[in-house]
Chain A
């Protein structure tokens, strides 16, 4: 009898321990836009060689997994030890404060301090991680199509209307299905909205109702879609808050102009190759600004980790200046580490188009509007973005008018704010 109980107990323990982390285990959830997954794995392999007592596992997942499944895993206490995340602020209650485990806290504050508020709960002073790259939203155009159509690229201060009109001419001339595409994402449409003069943050720091400038831009976006100017497949063929990029349509020369961001540069360099020439154009202007939206992905440690010391060791390695420099140079991402920026970068590419695009985005950072700079560290950004995407998507599909969509956006956000109180 005792033997049977012992066997059952051992089986129970084995079952329970199969889901628990062992000492020295660090699990990282990672998504890739381009080649950075391979670079990251190389760096982790190097870390493993020097630290054989720590077993690092990298789970490469789709971006949608980070957006949709990671929050649920974290809420249930089953998340990874480290994750690469973009919705850094709204999930900040799950991040670990690395401060007690770091050897050189000042290094982190000095080099990564500028973006630390993007990933902290409001009023907190914790160090949860660092930005693996800084991004800025902006446009790209298929220059080969422009050249073939004999249409000149609108200049630096050209407006949204001018860029879209020029792209429309090219699309008609070259029989390309759509003139323009923008990712199905609230973050992506916010840069142009701010260029039109939109402001999401109320005086009390809470979400403000959609203002006239935002409505003007969104009305224009809905109209471009209805007129067949913008790529219907991206916004219309999905529902709710589903994220959908239009990168493949641009890569396949199905759209002339594509509004995404700096993170697409390595992707285009690899996938477009020599098929056609493409250029980054920064953010077209609206009546108020010519701004993109800053952002990026951060690598953050999780509060529920069983091995905070090992996690901190991995994070210190990845955040160190030489590793951050190598990561940026090999992935063509804009770094956030100040020492890396100050020391200059030698991007590992001889691709002229990619280098020019990187320079364009670096230049575009100088025109980023203050309203845009506030949003990455604002608690309600994701709530706002979610409401924008789902309701604008419905309006584009003809399920409601633009005015009805605006009312719904305001009520969705108000409801969420109320639920959070």
Chain B
């Protein structure tokens, strides 16, 4: 029982136990700090996290790199032959990089081209959609909480479920064609026509993820001081000018986060697009991760070394994007500090 802010007997006992435990821990920690200094303590506290990072990220990365230097279809490294950079030279063996058909590994370059087009279109459309949604949801509209939940709901769905739902909508005898026929329109082969399938994969991906980015932007919008808007209103500033001169600049840190996260996520596109189109028609929605999966695991012409080389190249792209994010964030911080 707590009375007048005083601790109860059981809480006092608990605190005594905690203090005793802390006292025991304190002895070696003090010794460690004496020996290693403050920077050593920082390393000590970071060690568990770094160990997890090493086990689940660094070691697999190194193993993957070693795989990319080997050949054959065996899974175990001991059964694989060292081929040096052969897998990389296979990938880069091209007459003209803009014409995948002139490349030895044509499907890799088709997948790379598809991924690049997907990233540019999906990310730009996603940011616009997320920004518009966030601006609307930030206003005093009726049922605002309900609408926020509606936009966030697809984020909670499994990508496989998302892909399947939209496949049933887009397939030849799907819901969309039924509606079109009901309206007297001609049905369309959404998933067997190259452009339709590509844009369908973009649309589904935006639908599935826009809620998450909207949430980030919404948090940014709510952090903008209200008095800035009040001052602008008093000055008679137009709404457009308020958006371009106040909202957008102050939302920039959040927009950069959204941009980089969306870019990284888009480069990694696989699950919902794979379930939706299986990479078809032909290879028009085959993206890099699917290429890596097919080459390494699913194909009858399996080649884990080539898949590993492709994933290292994709990893390099992701590293560049992450560095760009860090640079942009720093630039933004400096700007803010000034």
Q: Bound complex: CA of A232 vs CA of B193, how far in Å?
A: 10
Q: Does A382 contact B (CB under 8 A)?
A: yes
Q: Does A398 contact B (CB under 8 A)?
A: yes
Binary interface encoding of chain B residues 273-311 relative to chain A, with 1 for a CB under 8 A from any of its CBs, else 0 = 000011111111110001000100111111100000000
Contact between B282 and A399, CB atoms less than 8 A apart: yes
Binary interface encoding of chain A residues 237-258 relative to chain B, with 1 for a CB under 8 A from any of its CBs, else 0 = 1111110100000001010000
Residues of A within 8 A of B189 (CB): 232-233
Q: Does A416 contact B (CB under 8 A)?
A: yes
Of B76, B192, B286, which one neighbours A240 at CB under 8 angstroms? Answer: B286
Binary interface encoding of chain A residues 386-405 relative to chain B, with 1 for a CB under 8 A from any of its CBs, else 0 = 11001001101111100010
Of A76, A238, A254, A387, which one neighbours B280 at CB under 8 angstroms? Answer: A238
Q: Does B188 contact A (CB under 8 A)?
A: no
Q: Bound complex: CA of A81 vs CA of B11, how far in Å?
A: 57
User: Quick one: given A386-B299, A386-B300, A400-B101, are A76 and B76 in contact (CB under 8 Å)?
Assistant: yes
User: Quick one: given A76-B76, A241-B299, A241-B300, are A177 and B172 in contact (CB under 8 Å)?
Assistant: yes
Contact between A397 and B300, CB atoms less than 8 A apart: no
Q: How far is the CB of B210 from chain A (nearest CB, A)?
A: 26
Q: Bound complex: CA of A236 vs CA of B171, how far in Å?
A: 13
Contact between B282 and A394, CB atoms less than 8 A apart: yes
Residues of A within 8 A of B110 (CB): 399
Q: Does B63 contact A (CB under 8 A)?
A: no
Contact between A233 and B283, CB atoms less than 8 A apart: no
Tell me if A's interface is mostly helix, strand, loop or mixed.
helix
- Which residues of chain A (67-124) have a CB below 8 Å from chain B? 67-69, 71-72, 75-77, 87, 90
Q: Bound complex: CA of A77 vs CA of B299, how far in Å?
A: 19
B297: nearest chain-A partner, CB-CB? A72
Of B74, B283, B298, which one neighbours A397 at CB under 8 angstroms? Answer: B283
A386: nearest chain-B partner, CB-CB? B300
Contact between B282 and A239, CB atoms less than 8 A apart: yes
Of A233, A383, A419, which one neighbours B172 at CB under 8 angstroms? Answer: A233
Q: Bound complex: CA of A90 vs CA of B298, how far in Å?
A: 14
User: Quick one: given A72-B75, A419-B73, are A236 and B282 in contact (CB under 8 Å)?
Assistant: yes
- Which residues of chain A (40-81) have a CB below 8 Å from chain B? 67-69, 71-72, 75-77
Contact between A419 and B283, CB atoms less than 8 A apart: no
Q: Bound complex: CA of A239 vs CA of B107, how far in Å?
A: 10
Q: Bound complex: CA of A75 vs CA of B303, how far in Å?
A: 13
Of B279, B283, B301, which one neighbours A412 at CB under 8 angstroms? Answer: B301
Contact between B75 and A75, CB atoms less than 8 A apart: yes
Contact between A242 and B278, CB atoms less than 8 A apart: yes
Q: Does A385 contact B (CB under 8 A)?
A: yes
Q: How far is the CB of B109 from chain A (nearest CB, A)?
A: 12
Q: Bound complex: CA of A383 vs CA of B301, how far in Å?
A: 6
Contact between A386 and B284, CB atoms less than 8 A apart: no
Pick from B101, B280, B302 the residue with the most CB of A within 10 Å.
Answer: B280
Q: Does B173 contact A (CB under 8 A)?
A: yes
Q: Bound complex: CA of A95 vs CA of B124, how far in Å?
A: 52
Residues of B within 8 A of A76 (CB): 75-76
Binary interface encoding of chain B residues 61-93 relative to chain A, with 1 for a CB under 8 A from any of its CBs, else 0 = 000000000011111100000000000000000
Binary interface encoding of chain B residues 176-190 relative to chain A, with 1 for a CB under 8 A from any of its CBs, else 0 = 000000000000010
Q: Does A223 contact B (CB under 8 A)?
A: no
Of A239, A254, A387, which one neighbours B283 at CB under 8 angstroms? Answer: A239
Residues of A within 8 A of B148 (CB): none
Of A68, A394, A398, A416, which one neighbours B298 at CB under 8 angstroms? Answer: A68
User: Quick one: given A232-B189, A239-B286, A240-B299, are A397 and B106 in contact (CB under 8 Å)?
Assistant: no
Residues of A within 8 A of B172 (CB): 177, 233
User: Quick one: given A76-B76, A397-B280, A397-B281, are A254 and B297 in contact (CB under 8 Å)?
Assistant: no
Residues of B within 8 A of A239 (CB): 277-283, 285-286, 290, 294
Residues of A within 8 A of B290 (CB): 239-240
Contact between A398 and B280, CB atoms less than 8 A apart: no
A381: nearest chain-B partner, CB-CB? B300
Q: How far is the CB of A202 from chain B (nearest CB, A)?
A: 18
B167: nearest chain-A partner, CB-CB? A237
Q: Bound complex: CA of A390 vs CA of B280, how far in Å?
A: 11
Q: Does A338 contact B (CB under 8 A)?
A: no
Q: How far is the CB of B19 from chain A (nearest CB, A)?
A: 24
Contact between A385 and B283, CB atoms less than 8 A apart: no
Contact between B280 and A68, CB atoms less than 8 A apart: no
Residues of A within 8 A of B75 (CB): 72, 75-76
Contact between A232 and B192, CB atoms less than 8 A apart: yes
Contact between B283 and A394, CB atoms less than 8 A apart: yes
Contact between A237 and B281, CB atoms less than 8 A apart: yes
**Known A71-B302, A233-B172, A397-B283; 5 more pairs at CB < 8 Å:** A67-B298, A177-B172, A237-B277, A239-B294, A393-B282
15 contacts between A and B (CB under 8 A): A69-B297, A90-B300, A236-B282, A238-B280, A239-B278, A239-B280, A239-B282, A393-B280, A394-B283, A397-B194, A397-B281, A398-B282, A416-B301, A419-B71, A419-B303
